[in-house]
């Protein structure tokens, strides 16, 4: 019983980056399923405390995987015993932990189910509740809390001569948010607060024999044994983690028991670089971390793109603020950089005043049309975003003539193109996207 509840409480210790503040809105909500890996043979240590630390757990091995479901108490078999709870969690649909989740605190109200894995149902109501988190949680916060439970279970599963066993648990926890910094796992890099929790507990065990035959008096509880325990847990909490993004449990001898870490993706961190191809042509490259799955580029002149690594053509010299916004299931981030562009030969004049060409459709599935607004000999070139020439086509077009060109042999993706009107300095440049 003691080991099971210590494990459950530690599971729920949700208690180069900037320091964060964890709020109640960063906690689990009904409907979440949070998957976490467990290294049951860990040799990791808690590492240093203090500000701006780095904890690298990429060497951990996943021996187990736990999927914690967050559900309404009313959907569990023991809802009536936990009327003050508004949230429950389970890993196996056999044992359940109950919570009172509020804007200023996140408390455990108890646990129920087959807690000893022996087929006997136990309902452990915490009185008082156990505080898991107080909000807001900041570096340097600390609190002390006490909780207790008193449960009775079938004694015959332990000894056939016993009628009942009673377990009384009293615990005092000391929570200190003793560090902040970056946790690195095989999933990503998380901006975290580290919470150190030390629990001092006493468990007393009482037994009772079956009642004798009347008129003998009923059996009384007999003290059997008591255990004093000290357990230490380090939990790294983050804005995106729901539960702790990493958690390291120690036994009473300060030996690490296991390391648990989340598979929830880390909030991405935006970054990019670019190549200046000359004459206002640029190739942008996403350098973001933590696995973004959506990209939004703003090139500062009204142009934009949703590709990870887009090419772009500027048409007027100037200073442009280029911003990349990335996102994934956990959040988003934006990075901006300034480009100072000179040396564009034709720019807007060649495109708008002459209005020489129209290239469509864009995106395309492999066919494009070039519509001429001015008679002349045109040279079309299509390049990779790195500047490798792929297609060279000369077209003698009349005014308002449309010419078909197949580019379906090229792979899906974004390409640069330029079209020059022979005998002039007019050049029409842009990007064309071949859809999958």
pLDDT of amino acid 429: 75
Is residue 73 predicted with pLDDT exceeding 50?
yes
pLDDT in tens, 25-44: 999 999 999 999 999 999 99
CA 152, CA 164: separation in Å to the nearest integer? 7
pLDDT of amino acid 13: 36
* Within a domain: 205: yes
Is residue 119 predicted with pLDDT exceeding 70?
yes
Q: Are residues 239 and 174 in the same domain?
A: yes
Mean pLDDT for the chain overall: 88
Nearest to 112 by CA among 120, 123, 102: 123
Q: Are residues 98 and 27 in the same domain?
A: yes
* Within a domain: 355: yes
* Within a domain: 267: no
Q: Are residues 179 and 242 in the same domain?
A: yes
Is the model more confident about 223 or about 11? Answer: 223
* Within a domain: 8: yes
Is residue 314 predicted with pLDDT exceeding 90?
no
Is the model more confident about 245 or about 350? Answer: 245
Q: Are residues 190 and 279 in the same domain?
A: no
pLDDT of amino acid 345: 52
* Within a domain: 239: yes
pLDDT of amino acid 300: 93
Parent domain of 318 = 272-341
CA 371, CA 265: separation in Å to the nearest integer? 47
Q: In what order do the strands lie in the sheet with 389-397?
A: 389-397, 376-383, 413-421, 427-434
By percentage, how much of the chain surpasses pLDDT 70? 92
Instruction: Tokens for 401, please give them.
Output: 């003539």
Give SS3 for 14. Answer: coil
Is residue 277 predicted with pLDDT exceeding 90?
no
DSSP states of 185-208: -SS-EEEEEEEEEEEEEEEEEEEE
Please report which confidence band the pLDDT of residue 9 belongs to, taking 50, 70 and 90 as the band edges. Answer: very low
Q: Are residues 226 and 175 in the same domain?
A: yes
CA 302, CA 378: separation in Å to the nearest integer? 28
Distances (CA, A) of 275 to 279, 280, 281: 12, 11, 9
Q: Are residues 252 and 337 in the same domain?
A: no
Is residue 18 predicted with pLDDT exceeding 70?
yes
**Domain CATH code at residue 388:** 2.60.40.3080
Q: Are residues 172 and 289 in the same domain?
A: no
State the average pLDDT over residues 407-420: 87
pLDDT of amino acid 357: 67
Q: Are residues 355 and 409 in the same domain?
A: yes
Q: Are residues 149 and 179 in the same domain?
A: yes
DSSP 221: -
* Within a domain: 402: yes
pLDDT of amino acid 360: 80
* Within a domain: 282: yes
Number of domains forming the structure of the chain: 3
Q: Are residues 281 and 211 in the same domain?
A: no
Domain boundary among 290, 310, 341: 341
Please report which confidence band the pLDDT of residue 426 belongs to, taking 50, 70 and 90 as the band edges. Answer: low
Domain boundary among 262, 292, 307: 262
**Domain CATH code at residue 283:** 2.60.40.10
Is residue 134 predicted with pLDDT exceeding 80?
yes
Please report which confidence band the pLDDT of residue 22 belongs to, taking 50, 70 and 90 as the band edges. Answer: very high
State the average pLDDT over residues 83-106: 96
Q: Are residues 337 and 364 in the same domain?
A: no
Nearest to 250 by CA among 259, 241, 242: 259
Nearest to 304 by CA among 293, 292, 295: 295
pLDDT of amino acid 414: 85
Nearest to 22 by CA among 336, 313, 235: 235
CA 167, CA 201: separation in Å to the nearest integer? 13
Domain boundary among 241, 262, 283: 262
CB contact at 8 A, 373 and 399: yes
Least confident of 10-24, 238-252, 282-296: 10-24
Q: Are residues 18 and 164 in the same domain?
A: yes
Is residue 4 predicted with pLDDT exceeding 70?
no
Least confident of 51-60, 175-184, 404-413, 417-426: 417-426
Is the pTM higher than 0.95? no
* Within a domain: 192: yes
pLDDT in tens, 344-401: 754 333 333 334 567 888 888 888 888 877 788 888 889 887 778 899 999 888 887 8
Instruction: Tokens for 121, please give them.
Output: 């149902």
Half-sphere exposure of 413 (CA within 13 A, CB side): 14
Give SS3 for 25. Answer: helix
């Amino acid at each position: 019983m003691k080991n099971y509840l210590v494990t459950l409480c530690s599971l729920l210790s949700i208690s180069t980056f900037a320091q964060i503040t964890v709020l109640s809105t960063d906690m689990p909500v009904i409907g979440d399923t949070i998957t976490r890996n467990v290294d049951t043979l860990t040799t990791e240590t808690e590492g240093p405390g203090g500000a701006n630390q780095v904890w690298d757990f990429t060497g951990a091995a996943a021996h187990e995987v736990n999927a914690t479901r967050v559900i309404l108490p009313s959907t569990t078999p023991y809802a009536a015993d936990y009327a003050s709870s508004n949230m429950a969690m389970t890993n196996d649909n056999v044992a359940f932990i109950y919570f009172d989740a509020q804007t200023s605190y996140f408390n455990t109200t108890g646990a129920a189910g087959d807690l000893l894995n022996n087929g006997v149902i136990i309902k452990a109501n915490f009185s008082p509740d156990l505080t898991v988190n107080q909000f807001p949680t900041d570096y340097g916060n600390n609190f002390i809390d006490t909780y207790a439970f008193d449960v009775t279970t079938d004694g015959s599963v332990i000894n056939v001569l016993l009628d009942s066993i009673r377990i009384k648990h009293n615990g005092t926890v000391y929570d200190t948010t003793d560090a902040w910094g970056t946790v690195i796992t095989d999933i990503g890099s998380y901006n975290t607060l580290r919470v150190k929790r030390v629990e001092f507990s006493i468990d007393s065990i009482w037994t009772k024999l079956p009642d004798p035959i009347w008129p003998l008096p009923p059996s009384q509880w007999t003290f059997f044994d008591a255990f004093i325990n000290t357990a230490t847990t380090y939990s790294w909490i983050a804005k995106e983690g729901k539960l702790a993004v990493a958690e390291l449990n120690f036994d009473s001898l300060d030996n690490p028991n296991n390391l648990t870490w989340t598979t929830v993706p880390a909030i991405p961190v935006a970054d990019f670089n670019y190549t200046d191809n000359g004459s206002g042509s640029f190739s942008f490259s996403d350098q973001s971390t933590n696995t973004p799955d959506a990209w939004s580029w703003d090139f500062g002149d009204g142009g934009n793109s949703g590709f990870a690594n887009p090419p772009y053509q500027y048409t007027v010299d100037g200073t442009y603020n280029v911003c990349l916004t990335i996102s994934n299931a956990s959040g988003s981030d934006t990075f901006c950089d300034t480009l100072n562009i000179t040396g564009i030969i034709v720019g807007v004049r060649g495109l708008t005043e002459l209005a020489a060409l129209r290239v469509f459709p864009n995106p395309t599935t492999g066919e494009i049309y070039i519509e001429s607004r001015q008679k002349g000999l045109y040279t079309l070139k299509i390049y990779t975003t790195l500047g490798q020439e792929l297609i060279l086509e000369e077209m003698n077009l009349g005014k308002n003539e449309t010419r078909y060109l197949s580019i379906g042999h090229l792979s899906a993706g974004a390409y640069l193109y330029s079209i020059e009107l022979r005998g002039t300095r007019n050049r029409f440049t842009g990007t064309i996207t071949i859809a999958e």
